[in-house]
Structure 1
Amino acid sequence: MQMSRKPHHSISSFILFYIILLIGSQPCIYAEAGTARAILIGVTDYEAATTPDLPLVGNDVSQLYSTLTQYGQFEKKHVVRVSESSPFKPTAKVIKSQFSQWLNKAEPDDSLLVYFSGHGYRDTEGNLYMATSDFDIKCPAETGLTISWVRDQIAACKASFKLLILDSCHAGSEKSVGLDNRVAAKDLGSPFEDLKNVVTIASSQADEKSLFYFDQKRSLFSFWLTEGLKGHADFNQDGKVDIDELYKYVSRRVRHSAKVLFNNEQTPVRIVRTGIVDVPVVIDLQPQSLQHTLANMSEHIAIVMQENKLEQLGVLEFMDNTNTLREKLGGDFGLLGKYCSEELDRRLSELKLDGGFGLVNRQRLRNALKEQGFKVEDLSSNSKMAGLSKSVGNLPVVVLGAFQNRKGRVIRLRCNMQQTTGFEELGAIGGTAELSLDEWAMLGRSAAVRPEDRQVNPFNQQTENISIQAQVINKLDARSEGGHILQDPTFPFDLQFVIDGKVRKGVIRGNDYFIPVSQGETYSIRITNKHGRKGTIAVMKLLVDGLDTLPKTNPEKDKPVSLDKALVTEYWGLPVTHLSDARSWILDPQEVPREFEEVAWEVAGFVTKTGEEGKVREFKVVDAANSLAGRQGFTDQIGLITVALYSAKPSARSVGTAAGQERDENLKERTGIDAGNLIGVVHLRYVDAKLLVN
C-alpha cells in the first residue's frame, strides 16, 4: 500500500506532538525456591614486587557483579565483592576471617557461586594456593589461601549447588619474576573434583595461559562468561542458563577467540564429580526492556563481526518461531518483527565504525528481497542466499532473528549469524525481554483495557511479584483470546474502513478483523465515539503497516517537520514506528461542529505537512496481504492497521494540530493534552478480497 498525490479527504482530529505515557516500565520480580548467593574475588594489585599486577581483573569482578544482579536472580545483598575497589579488600586476613561466615549463611535450598580471578601458586611441597593481594612467596601458608582450606569451606557449605569459577595463570604476567611455580586454573580446580554438588569451571588447561582481551578491557574467559550469563548461552530458550549451556557456550567462544584474535590456544575446563545426574541452573534470567535487550544483542553481533574480520552484514525481519512446524513473518507478533530488525539495524549502524565492518543499506536489501520474491523457505537454499548476497554487492553474513516464545509480558529472542555461502553459523545471540503496554499493542491483537485491570488486589499473595503492566498484559492476553474488540458493546469507539465513501464490511475470525480490498483502491479510516458529544477527549495513535500517519517533529523547535519529499518519493522504506514514539491525534467530541450528527473523525492518508497548507497522501492499496496467517515473503506491506486509543491527560508542554470538518487542508495547532492510560487497541487487517470468498 502506498499514498497517492490525489487531493485528500478531510481529517477531523487533533495532532499531538509530544507523548508521555502514564504507565512506566517496571521490572518483573520472580520468587525463587532458595537464595542465590555469590562471592566474587578479584586480585588486581599485589604488594610484592615479585608478583605481577593484573590490572583488568577489577573490571571482571565489577562486570560479573552487574551481570548477576541485573540479568539474574541474585540480589545485591547476597553478592559479596572482594577487590581493591570494594569495602572488602582481597587480603589473606580479610578473606580468611569472612569466607567461612559467608558460606555458613547458605541454606540447603540455596545456590552458591564462588569466583576467583588472580594468580595461583604451588610451593616446593606441592601445596596449591590462591594468591591474595598481600601474598608472599617466602611464606605462602601465612599470606595465601591454601586450596585445601578453600576446599574444606566449600565442602561444609549447605547449599544444594555450588559453582566454583577460576580464572588464573594470566598471559603476560610471566614478564615478572618470582612466580615460577604459577599454576593454571585447571590445576587449582582439580582438588574440588570429588566434592558432592560442586562443579568447577576453570579458564584454561594446565599447559595454557588465561588470555587478556584488551579491546574489551577484560580477561578473555571472564568476558565470555558474563556474555553467556546475560542469556546468550540459553540455547533452549527456557529463560535459564544451566551449567551445561554455560560451559558449552564459554568453551566454544573462548577457544574461537583465542585462535582468531591471538593465534593461541585457551580451552576452558569443566571439573565435576562423576555420577551427578541433575543439570543445575546457574542463572534464572530476569527480563530486560526490549530496547536494552536489542542493544546488548547488537553489541554481541558487532564483536563477532570484528573477531571474524567480516566486511558486511544485513539484518532480516524477525520471524515468529513459536510454531516449530513452520516459521513465518508477522504471525503472533504483528509489527514487532519489523520493529526489532530495524532497531537492531539502527544500533549496529552506530557500532560499525568501531567494529570495522559495514552494514548493507537497508533500502538496497529491501529492494533485493522484493525483486527476488525472497521467502522464509529460501533461507535454507544455497543458491537463493548466494543470489541475495550478489544482488547487494557481497553480503557474507545475514542476521536471522526470531521470537522463540512469549508468556505474558516476557518474550524470548534469538538471532543466528549465518553466512550466505557454506551456511556456517557464526554465533547465536539470545535475550529475554519484557514488553511495555505499547509493545504489546504492536503484536496485532485487539483488546480493551478495563479500569479494574490496573487495580491491585490486596488479597492476592502474588501481587508483590507482578508489575501493573504485567497484570494488564495478562488481562489483555486473556481477553484477546475471545472475539474482536469491535464486538464489545462497552468499548466506547467504533472503527470503519471506508472506500469511495462507503463502509467496507469485514470478516471477524477469532481476534482478527479482515477487510477485503483490491489493488488500486484508496481508503480512509473512520473513528466514531459511541457516546457522541457526551464522550470524553481521547488520544489516538494510528499506524498503517507500522508507519506513523503523522510527520515527525523537530525536537528543538517543537514543530512538525515537513515531509514534502514524501509526495514525490517512495514513502515505504521508513522504519516501523514504536507506538511510544508515534505522534497522536486528539479526538475531542466538543470540537466536532454541531451540524454533524455523528461524532466521528476520518483519516484519509499520511499527513506529510501540517499548518494552513497541510498536505495528506492518500492510503492506497498496492499489494494486499495474500495470507490470513503469517507472511512468508519479506515485503514492506504487511496488511496491518493499528489504532491505539488512550485517555487524555493535561500537559503543559504538548502541542497539537487540529483539522476542521470542512475537509480543507488547514491543520490548526492545539496545546495542553498528552496520552494517558491505554484504553484499548484495535487492529484491522486488509487482505486480498479473493481470500475471503465464501
Structure 2
Amino acid sequence: MANSKTHIPIVKNMNSTGYPQGHALLIGVANYQQISSLPAAVLNDVIDVAAALTSPNYCGYVPANVVTLLDAEATRPAVLKGLSELATRANIDDTVCVFFSGHGGIVGNPGDEDSILVTVDSDLADIKNTSISSDELAAALTRIKAKRLLVFIDACHAGGASISKNLTDAKGYSLKSGYLENTFTKLAVGRGRALMASCRADEVSNVFLGARNSVFTTALLAGLRGAADTNGSGFIKVFDLFHYISEEIPKLIPNDQHPVFKADNLEGNFPIALSHGGRKSPNSPASTPTTQEKDPWSALEDILIELYPFGPRDQEIWSRAGGDLSRLHFHPTGQAAWHAALRTLKQGGGGKSINFSSLLRTAKEDFSNHPQLAML
C-alpha cells in the first residue's frame, strides 16, 4: 500500500514507462471515533484502488504519487493537508484522482441544507467544526492546478440489506446521512473536472454481507484493471470508465443503485490511467490493417486527440516539439485545435522547428509504451 505519511519528490522522466503524471489521494473511514462504524469493505476499497493504481500491470501510477489515509489517519486536518499537498505536487498537465469512502452527512434546515464529508474525528455535537463542508472541499479541489481531475465519492454505505438514514453516537446525537445532488455538481465545477458518485442522493451505496468491496468499488476496480478499456487502447478513459461502471452496477444490484456522473466542462474522453500497463489489445480496432494503412497524418491526428485532448497546448506538446503556438488559431475544442494545427503543419506552418517527425518523436517520449505511436 502506498505510504500515507511521506512524499518522495518525483522528477518526471518523459521517457519512462508507466503513468508518471498520475496523482491520487485515497481516503477511507470505517471505524469512527465517536460515530457509528461502517463495514470493513470501506478500508478494503481504498487499499485495493491504491493497489490497482500503482500496479505496473494495471494503471501504472508511481507509488509515491498515491497517498492513502485510512481510519485514524483520516482526521479533518489530515484530509485537508492531503488535499493541499496534492495541489502542491500536481502540475497543470497531470491527472489527479481523489477517492473518498466513508460517511457523508447532511446539515442545515430544509431548503438550506449542505453536505459534509465526515472524517474519523468528527463529533456530532459540533459537526460543522469537525467535518469538511462541501464549500471547503470544493475550494480545496479548485486549488489543484491539474487539467484533469476526477473525484470519486462512495458514501452512505449499506452493509448487508439496509442502513440507518441517520448517523448516531453514544451521546444521543444524530445526523442525517447521505450526500446532496447539488454537492456532486459543486465538486465537478471547472474545466477538466468530473465526479463519479456511487449512488443517487436518495439511494444508498451497497456492500454485500461478507463482500471485500462495496458494489461501486467492485465495478470501479474491474474498470481500472482493464475492463473499461473496451477498445483495447491501452488507456482507461473517463467516459469509458463511467460507462462501464454504470453498466456493471445494475448487474450486481438491479434497480437499487445508480451511479452518478457530473462534469462541468470536459473537452474530451481524457485518459486517467494506463490499461494493463499500457498494453493495447491485439484485437483492438485500432490495430486492424485498415488503421495501419491509414494516412500517417490522419493516424497521428487520431492519436494526438486521444493523448492530448486539450489540443496542441496540452502538456506543451507543440512547443516541446519545436512549434510556435502563436502561429496557431484558437479553437473551442481539442479535436478542432488538432485538426487545424496539423493542417497548418502539413502546409509548412506552425513554427520553424516543428515537423511531423519532431511532433511524433515528442509524443513517443511522453508515451514510450504506446503501440500506435510505435507503428508510426
Normalized against structure 1, the TM-score is what?
0.36
Answering whether residue 77 of structure 2 is matched by residue 54 of structure 1, we say: no
Work out which of the two has the higher radius of gyration on C-alpha atoms and give 1 or 2.
1
- Given candidates 245, 249, 254, the residue that maps to 2:244 is 249
Answering whether residue 101 of structure 2 is matched by residue 111 of structure 1, we say: no
Question: Structure 1, residues 617-669: CA drift from partner, whole Å, max 9, x if none?
Answer: xxxxxxxxxxxxxxxxxxxxxxxxxxxxxxxxxxxxxxxxxxxxxxxxxxxxx
SS in 2 for 1:211: strand
Runs of 5+ in structure 2 lacking a partner?
A: 1-14, 169-173, 291-363
For 1:330-345, list aligned pairs within 5 A. none
Amino acid at match of 1:248: H
- Tell me which residue corresponds to 1:190: 185
- Measured after TM superposition, the shift of residue 180 of structure 1 is 4.4
For 1:235-246, list aligned pairs within 5 A. 235-246=230-241
Answering whether residue 27 of structure 2 is matched by residue 41 of structure 1, we say: yes
Answering whether residue 76 of structure 2 is matched by residue 92 of structure 1, we say: yes
- Measured after TM superposition, the shift of residue 52 of structure 1 is 3.0
- Tell me which residue corresponds to 1:653: none
SS in 2 for 1:231: helix
- Measured after TM superposition, the shift of residue 123 of structure 1 is 1.3
Answering whether residue 164 of structure 2 is matched by residue 169 of structure 1, we say: no
- Tell me which residue corresponds to 1:73: 60
Runs of 5+ in structure 1 lacking a partner?
A: 1-27, 294-317, 326-460, 478-694
Question: Structure 1, residues 529-566: CA drift from partner, whole Å, max 9, x if none?
Answer: xxxxxxxxxxxxxxxxxxxxxxxxxxxxxxxxxxxxxx
Answering whether residue 122 of structure 2 is matched by residue 138 of structure 1, we say: no
For 1:80-479, list aligned pairs within 5 A. 80-84=67-71, 89-125=73-109, 126-171=113-158, 172-174=162-164, 178=168, 179-184=174-179, 186=181, 188-214=183-209, 216-259=211-254, 264-273=255-264, 275-287=265-277, 323=288
d(CA) in 2 for partners of 1:96 and 1:197? 22
d(CA) in 2 for partners of 1:188 and 1:168? 13
SS in 1 for 2:204: coil
RMSD: 3.2
Question: Structure 1, residues 47-73: CA drift from partner, whole Å, max 9, x if none?
Answer: 11x433332111000000010011113
Task: Tell whether the 8 Å contact from 2:95 to 2:149 is kept in structure 1 after alignment.
Answer: yes
- Tell me which residue corresponds to 2:49: 64
Q: How many residues align structurally?
A: 269
- Measured after TM superposition, the shift of residue 95 of structure 1 is 1.8
d(CA) in 2 for partners of 1:230 and 1:252? 16
Q: Greater share of strand residues, 1 or 2?
A: 1
Normalized against structure 2, the TM-score is what?
0.64
Task: Tell whether the 8 Å contact from 2:42 to 2:214 is kept in structure 1 after alignment.
Answer: yes
- Measured after TM superposition, the shift of residue 196 of structure 1 is 2.5
Amino acid at match of 2:51: S
d(CA) in 2 for partners of 1:55 and 1:320? 38
d(CA) in 1 for partners of 2:137 and 2:101? 14
Question: Structure 1, residues 558-580: CA drift from partner, whole Å, max 9, x if none?
Answer: xxxxxxxxxxxxxxxxxxxxxxx
Task: Tell whether the 8 Å contact from 1:186 to 1:204 is kept in structure 2 after alignment.
Answer: no
Amino acid at match of 2:245: V
d(CA) in 2 for partners of 1:272 and 1:151? 14
- Measured after TM superposition, the shift of residue 31 of structure 1 is 6.1
For 1:472-491, list aligned pairs within 5 A. none
Question: Structure 1, residues 295-348: CA drift from partner, whole Å, max 9, x if none?
Answer: xxxxxxxxxxxxxxxxxxxxxxx98985489xxxxxxxxxxxxxxxxxxxxxxx
Task: Tell whether the 8 Å contact from 1:54 to 1:118 is kept in structure 2 after alignment.
Answer: no
Question: Structure 1, residues 160-187: CA drift from partner, whole Å, max 9, x if none?
Answer: 1110000011114318753541123745
- Measured after TM superposition, the shift of residue 143 of structure 1 is 1.2
For 1:503-522, list aligned pairs within 5 A. none
For 1:635-654, list aligned pairs within 5 A. none
- Measured after TM superposition, the shift of residue 30 of structure 1 is 1.8
Distance change >3 Å, CA 256–CA 159, structure 1 → 2? same
Distance change >3 Å, CA 187–CA 166, structure 1 → 2? farther
